[in-house]
Amino acid sequence: MANVRLVRARRKRVRRNMAGTSDKPRLSVFRSNMYIYAQLIDDQNSKTLSAVSDKKLPKEGIAKTKLEKAASVGELIATDAKKQKITKVVFDRGNYKYHGRVKALAEAARKGGLNF
């Protein structure tokens, strides 16, 4: 029970000074044991502008490890943002450390043209 409180407190602390706008949306990351998800969120209008997960990736070929899948998701969210003419975002790592799959997704999104 105490562990859940710590996770919620960390998430609240990370999001305290962060909000997405239509000009600069929030890039939110969710990581489960099997998959990784990324969303572009406009908090002012309460809308999700784009959502990508590694479930949409082809099963064979490009990505085999979780790190490679996370990088592919970062590239996909960057291309979706480019289609909507979004270049600047606020990165929301949630309650996860900036390490491993979250870091791989962020670096791939930066390579794809997102600034944060």
pLDDT of residue 80: 95
Whether residue 79 lies inside any domain: the answer is: yes
Name the token pair of 87.
């270049």
CB-neighbour burial class of residue 70 (10 A; exposed 0-12, middle 13-18, buried 19+): buried
Whether residue 45 lies inside any domain: the answer is: yes
pLDDT of residue 84: 94
Position 91 pLDDT exceeds 90: yes
pLDDT of residue 61: 62
The mean pLDDT value for 18-31 works out to 87
Whether residue 102 lies inside any domain: the answer is: yes
Structural domain count, the chain:
1
Range of the domain at 38: 2-111
Position 63 pLDDT exceeds 80: no
Whether residue 116 lies inside any domain: the answer is: no
What does the alpha-carbon distance between residue 62 and residue 33 come to, in Å, rounded to a whole number?
Answer: 20
The mean pLDDT value for 43-69 works out to 85
Whether residue 15 lies inside any domain: the answer is: yes
Whether residue 8 lies inside any domain: the answer is: yes
The mean pLDDT value for 16-33 works out to 87
pLDDT of residue 53: 93
Rounded to two decimals, what is the model's pTM? 0.84
Whether residue 11 lies inside any domain: the answer is: yes
* Residue 18's CATH number: 3.30.420.100
Residue 23 confidence class, pLDDT cut points 50, 70, 90: confident
- Rounded to 5°, the CA angle 34-77-46 comes to 95
Whether residue 74 lies inside any domain: the answer is: yes
Contacts of 67 (CB under 8 A, 6+ apart): 100, 101, 104
What does the alpha-carbon distance between residue 46 and residue 105 come to, in Å, rounded to a whole number?
Answer: 24
Is the C-alpha dihedral spanning 33, 35, 38, 41 positive or negative? negative
The rounded mean pLDDT for the chain is: 89
